[in-house]
Structure 1
Amino acid sequence: MQQRRTLFPRMDDLAQARPAVSHALMRDFLYRPQWVAENDEPLPPAYYDAVQAQSAALRQAPVDQYDEAAAARTRARARALSVVDRPARPVSLDQPLPPQEWGEAASPQARTHTLMGLKAQATHIRQALGLDAVRTLVQQVADDQRVLAPVREAFVALEPALLRMAMADPRFFGDDHHPARRLIEGVAQRSFRYNDEYAEEFEQFMAPVRQAVRELNAEPEASAEAFATRLQAIESDWQRQDEADKQAHEPGLRSMHFAQERQALADKIAWEFSLRSDLEGVPGVVADFLFQDWSLVIAHAQLTDERGQLDPGGYLAVVSDLLWSVKREAALKQPARLFQVVPGLVQTLRRGLEMLGKEPEETATFFDALMRYHDPVLRLRRLRSARDAEALGFASLGDESGLMPLETEAAPLERPKPRAAEQPWLGRHELQAAGFHDEADSGPAPLTEHAAQQPGPMAAADTDLGVLTAPAALAAPDPSDQPFVPLDQPAEPQPVAQMPATAAESTEDIEARTRATLARLRVGDWVDLKVRGHWRRAQLQWTSDNGTLFMFISRGGRPHSMTQRTCEKLIRNRHLRPVDASAVVDKALRQLGDEARQTREAALA
């Protein structure tokens, strides 16, 4: 009996307009299905006397009016600030809301009168306690500053309908499948797509929400079906928007998926190349070309082939001729074969690279080297032809010293080995579709001359792609915002807002914190991303399997793709800020438990 009374409400507490029952009792009521069977009973006459007295006192209290002038000043101050620097606007059950948006529900006195009227109609403890649970949780949600203020105002304005729902189903807030709770959570989660309450697109989001709130408040008796109907209508509209966004970003997403699949197959092909017996003695630049570029060509051809060919394009067969042609001793023994092979070899190589989407300047270094390796044999052949012409009485072709064989670099001492690419290669069109490309770019960032000169067979894989946005949606570059420059085009140092650090925090600590922030990001998470001087709310849509490439999608299905290195740079500079979008109602319920635990600990102290 003592345990039962420990979590049993006092009647005077149940009669108050401001919830007075303990949070421990309220949480127990919501989460323990047997609470009603163990504790519920009819309300005594003293309860109704207390409700009547409380209502009379409230009627004598002054009525708060909405201050439009003060609200206008608040809007002006907020709009002058960046969206990430605006202080969260407080929302409370006790403050008036804009009457033009919420009608009668805008008045805190009107909402409280609805509460007290329902308390007067309650017949059992479960109903009175359910009303207090609604008011408490609505205030908890209104205090959640992660949610934009107009959305929290909508939840406050919805209180009358929620109170009526509690009369029919007092414990509905404890049921995460109940339509009323799903409506609140659904609207809150959808609102995380926006970071500016004054933007036109946010107003488009709020208009149907306000309409649903007004309609539910107009219902004389709330029902789960009424909430479900409004939620379904709103979600249908959201689904249409999502389909349009999906169509906008789907090409970029397909490009990233294909690039990752192609890179994985290319890495496998490169490893198979490394096992070939004719790779011995091949110059490093040629081995690098096979491991990097040509393995991608073969992988691309195989993945896009629709006829089931064993070697689509003949790109695999040409490898034997390439490896033979760059071995000087072997080619000198068969110069006629080299003359016969080289034209078709070069033509096939260029055709494969063009099919892949590589620009000529990207592979110019390789073809220059290939020419150097072929030139000694070709020069000897030309020298022999010149001498044969002289023997037949033709004029001399000139200084023969120019026709003498040139020395080439020594063959590598160690057999070259590939290493898996750290990130998938993307061509110009793929970069554009994925949001890497910008009209101001001179070319794809990952394939720079600097990267081609780096040591190691797969050095180009280390190059940072930078972060750029889809060109159709971008304005001219803003010189005040320079985090989105490809690393092959270094920008002048800019003063940036670095990640806040404590006095004792070292550079290593900042780097570790940056990496940890990025490691916590999961597909579906929201971030605030600064793009050309403007803050966009974007969602992480895709990451590569090894976590080196990321694609974020902002409003309208606009892709923003970047490498791990660029992500970390943006996090350090506070240009990429993760957004906590965890469940709003769950957080409110957890706070009930936390406050109850703190109360118990304080009592025991």
Structure 2
Amino acid sequence: MNEETPDRALQATERSDSSRRRARYRRLFEDCWAPVRTVVEEQLLTALIETLGPLAKSLDEADSKRVKAVLARDRAFVQAYLEALHPELIASIGSFVEAGGSEGGGARALSLIGHEDSEFDAAIDQCAARLRNSVDTEFAAVKLRLINLLHDVDLRDSDLPFRIALFVRAIAGALRHIAIAEPDVVPLMRLVSSGLSRVVGQAYKQIEKRLADSGASDAVPVWHSTVVGTHGAARGRAATGTSGAERTGNEIVSLGDAQSSSMLLSLLERLQPGAFATAGTAPAAGTAGTGPMAGAASATPGGAALTRADRVAFLESRAPGSGWSFDPALISAINDALRMTASAASAAAAAAGRPAAGVDAAHTAELRKGLIDTASRKIDKLTIELVGLLFDRIQRDRHIPDAIKEQLARLQFPLLKVALGDPELFADPRQPARRLLDRIASTSIGWSVDGEDNRRYFEQVRGAVDSVTDSPADASKAFEQSFEQFDRFLDEERTRDDDPVTRARRALAEAENREILAIKATMQVRSAFDGVQLESYLRDFLLDVWVRVLVEASTRDKTEPALVRRYLDTIPELVWSVQPKINPGDRKRMIETIPNVLAVLREGLTRMQWPSERIQQFFGRLMNSHASAVKALELAHGSPPQITPSTVRIKLDGFRIPTDTSDVALDQIKVSDDVVRHALAVGAPGVTHLSAPTEQDPLPAAMDPQQALNAIAGFSRGLWFDLRANTGQMERVVLRWISPKKALYLFTNAGGDRAHSLSPDTLVAYLQAGWLVAVESAPLFERAVDAVMFDLKHGAQPGTDASS
């Protein structure tokens, strides 16, 4: 009894948290009805006619009569369907919210249709199962966002407030409403539901959009263990996978075979970095992934990282089979398979009259089976199966465009060669093969077939894959060279001089460079009035504002070569003018000097477009300082040191606008929002420079400050994010450019016609608010491994609901 107490306490706490979260989002769930209703109103009538119209002519007379009865009242059916679906959805949401605090989980909601016949329920379940398969991608996307929104990885399909069965039950309600005879309801429900996949799929897309706009992430939950024990075996899943019976890929291993699944799971778990900590050796230091949010993860505690030899020794002693080295016969067979794949793809492409593209999945599966027959060691057979499962998961990844998936599929056999000889593939995210897959995947999320930039990107992806598949060198070396080539393309992206992104980059780079020059100029100017008494506002003005006027003037050296010197000479006069004037001669000279000083100051501030209200504020304070200087109030406190313009001028004689910016540390550079907006207004008026969001409740994807800083450290060009811009809506954007000193970041939408710039401070604020969220929660390879582990875990445990 005592042993179960901690589990029960933890489960009670989790139920309480889940209940509060569900209640908090009830209004959000109910608001999803509006876009669902719009989809039904716009598409159900067409779907009904397309599904039942051909049947009205092809069925026998009795069946045809039933179908025609529905078609004759098609518009009434659509209205009745809406009237039946809405209360079904509201009741389901209510049941879902109330079930959050119950120990039994989400009980099945009672239908408002009021039909309790078991045969009817069985028909509902059968229709819902078929419909679920046809909208798998859309349904899984909604489920994943709900899991993240509610922080509940144990959600089952039958628990969700937007269950598939709701759409099927509403069909029965609508049929009854238009007076269809009761014996005909179930047969007609089966027919209508068979044509509902497009409508339901679009409905789920709209629901997902609402959830995404509310901040619900589509990040795949990371695999983790819990203290709940066997009762919590399904917790912390890596992905919302499907059961073995529902899988549609070309897997070699049957996930229903518990022995095969168990062996594969055992191998995969042993290949993970954490496995080595259980082998009696020092645990490997956790290596964060290479994705955009990799830095946000906490490192695994432990000692120094193990060497490759350590890993190999461990695997040789514990992995199924014997040894971890190349089997020459198997490598030769893989090379043959690679050549056959390339040949088949080229032949198919030639027949279609287009360049070589992807590979045939069925042909690849057959080749993989042949490799298993060739392999003599169990560990090699399992590795072949494991790589096949990984690529099946990659083909099902929802973020990668299909054309890019075709190219990645060509890397299966080269990656298999790496997997057979290098256990680091599964342990180290910096392994070259992983880096290439991850980099292509992360930069392709928003890719489309349209546009010159997209065509150029696709050619580089295909070239990177060609470099690997055609290389006679060691597979790991080929991946490494290809990654370097592809990454170089991303860093040296070529655009036209008149391209908006190019103009934005140029303007932002100029703003950053001027900030660096201002930092170095400040160091020289500060030394000129060391020991001089200056009010803080004036000292700040000279060091923060006037040095930027000097930098601005230096850009006009060719047309106005004396401009910098004229602005520099104003500093001694300005500093002297605010010093106490003890004798009448100084006061007279001050009166003669001030008009020229003020004129030069106004001219310089106008050139750099300093805001007029700030100019007026500064001159108002300066006027007060001049008045105080004339009154010589300081005499009451003793004589101040005598300062003359020449004293300051001598110190400035060696002043030069710097040219070398390499010695300025990154943490010194903070370009003000005003400076950036001024630069963009001149050079790239279409770019919006965003400021930190106003204080408000953070969205669910929010980070703490350290997580945000770690995440930014992992940012690289080409990564895709969801950004909440000034419109208040989440917008998918790509990180197009990072300034040389990482003081400014430029994001654009997929079309490149909208652009946003952010400073590091603003980035941190956006990440803390959940206003900037990486599309990828983890790199592709890591996502695929986590998903395969999930599938194997539940395929190896009969009775576990693997579809949850």
Per the normalisation by structure 1, the TM-score is 0.51
CA contact (8 A) 1:321 1:345 kept: yes
Q: Is 1:115 paired with 2:361? A: no
Alpha-carbon separation, structure 1, partners of 2:511 and 2:544: 18
Kept in 1, the 8 Å contact 2:371–2:384? The answer is: no
Instruction: Quote the Cα distance in structure 1 between the aligned partners of 2:708 and 2:673.
Output: 29
Secondary structure in structure 2 of the residue aligned to 1:317: helix
Partner Cα separation in structure 1 for residue 459 and residue 199 of structure 2:
22
Per chain length, whose mean CA-contact separation is higher, i.e. which structure has more relative contact order (CA < 8 Å, sep 6+)?
Answer: 2
In structure 2, do the counterparts of structure 1 residues 153 and 495 end up closer, same or farther at CA, with 3 Å as the change threshold? same
Aligned CA distance change for structure 1 residues 237 and 484 (closer, same or farther; 3 Å)? closer
Provide the residue aligned with 1:77 in structure 2. 204
User: Does structure 2 retain, via aligned residues, the 8 Å contact 1:376–1:407?
Assistant: yes
Q: Residues 382-416 of structure 1: CA distance to partner in whole angstroms, max 9, x if unpaired?
A: xxxxxxxxxxxxxxxxxxxxxxx98989999999x
Distance 1:159 1:264 in 2: 50
Percent identical residues: 13
- Cα offsets for 1:259-311 (capped at 9, x unmatched): 331231243134213415xx23x444333322332233334445764699798
Note if contact 1:432-1:471 (Cα within 8 Å) is conserved in structure 2.
no
**Equivalents in 1 of 2:390, 2:784: separation in Å?**
5
**Contact conserved, 1:551 with 1:561, CA < 8 A, in 2?**
yes
1:381-396 residue pairs with structure 2 within 5 A?
Answer: none
Instruction: State how far apart, in whole Å, the 1-side matches of 2:421 and 2:455 are.
Output: 26
State which drifts further: 329-338 or 202-211.
202-211
Ranges in structure 2 where 5+ consecutive residues have no aligned partner? 1-132, 136-194, 221-238, 251-347, 426-430, 642-664, 793-804
1:125 maps to 376
Q: Counterpart of 1:329 in structure 2: which amino acid?
A: K
Tell me whether 1:366 sits opposite 2:618 in the alignment.
Answer: yes
User: Hey, what does 2:523 align to over in structure 1?
Assistant: 268
Alpha-carbon distance in structure 2 between the residues aligned to 1:107 and 1:90: 26
Name which of 486, 500, 514 aligns with 2:705. 514
The Cα of 1:76 is off from its aligned counterpart by 5.0
- Against the structure 1 CA distance between its residues 141 and 272, is the aligned structure 2 distance closer, same or farther, given a 3 Å change threshold? farther
What SS is found at the alignment partner of 1:344?
A: helix
State the 1:258 CA deviation. Answer: 1.2
CA distance in 2, matches of 1:563, 1:236: 24
What is the distance in 2 between the residues matched to 1:151 and 1:371? 64
Instruction: Let me know the Cα RMSD of the aligned residues.
Output: 6.1
Change (3 A) 1:207 1:308: closer
Residues 745 and 758, structure 2, Cα contact 8 Å, conserved in 1 = yes
Deviation at 1:134, TM superposition (A): 4.5
Which consecutive unaligned segments of at least 5 residues does structure 1 have?
1-65, 217-221, 378-404, 439-468, 475-482, 501-509, 597-605
Q: When the two structures are aligned, how many residues end up with a matched partner? A: 423
Q: Does 1:571 align with 2:767?
A: yes
- For residue 530 of structure 1, what is the aligned residue in structure 2? 724
Deviations 1:456-482 (A, max 9, x none): xxxxxxxxxxxxx975266xxxxxxxx
TM-score (norm 2): 0.40
Secondary structure at the counterpart of residue 315 of structure 1: helix
Look up the match of 2:62: none
Cα contact 1:130–1:166 (8 A) shared by 2: no
Aligned pair in 2 of structure 1 residues 198, 324: CA closer, same or farther (>3 Å)? closer
Contact kept in structure 2, 1:322 and 1:345, CA below 8 Å:
yes
**Contact 2:359 2:410 (C-alpha < 8 Å) held by counterparts:** no
Counterparts of 2:733 and 2:706, CA distance in 1: 21
* Cα distance change of structure 1 residues 516 and 358 upon mapping to structure 2, 3 Å threshold: same
What CA deviation, in whole Å up to 9, does each residue of 1:83-139 have, x standing for no partner? Answer: 574757978994159xxx99998986554334335556x4x638x976753441242
1:589 shift after superposition: 8.2
Maintained 8 Å contact 1:326/1:374:
yes
Give 1:95's aligned residue: 248
Distance 1:202 1:78 in 2: 29
Which stretch of structure 1 is more off in the superposition, 582-591 or 525-534? 582-591
CA contact (8 A) 2:358 2:407 kept: yes
Which residue pairs with 2:538 in the alignment?
286
Structure 1 residues 269 and 559: alpha-carbon distance in aligned structure 2, compared to 1, 3 A threshold: farther
Distance between the aligned counterparts of 2:545 and 2:207, measured in 1?
A: 50
Q: Is the 8 A contact 1:538 1:553 kept in 2?
A: yes
Matched, 1:497 2:699: yes
Query: What CA distance in whole angstroms lies between the structure 2 residues aligned with 1:85 and 1:145?
Result: 24
Q: 1:330 to 1:195 in 2, by over 3 A?
A: farther
- Matched residues in 1 for 2:449 and 2:633: separation? 64
Question: CA shift at 1:574, angstroms?
Answer: 0.9
Change (3 A) 1:427 1:166: closer
Structure 2 CA distance for aligned equivalents of residues 471 and 299 of structure 1: 22
For the Cα contact (< 8 Å) 1:149–1:197, is it kept in 2?
no
1:554 to 742, 748, 758: 748
Aligned to 1:242: 493
Alpha-carbon deviation of 1:575?
Answer: 0.7
1:342-376: per-residue Cα shift (whole Å, max 9, x none)? Answer: 22211221222233332332221121222344468
In 1, are the aligned partners of 2:415 and 2:433 still within 8 Å (CA)? Answer: no
Aligned partner of residue 535 in structure 1, secondary structure: strand
SS in 1 for 2:493: helix
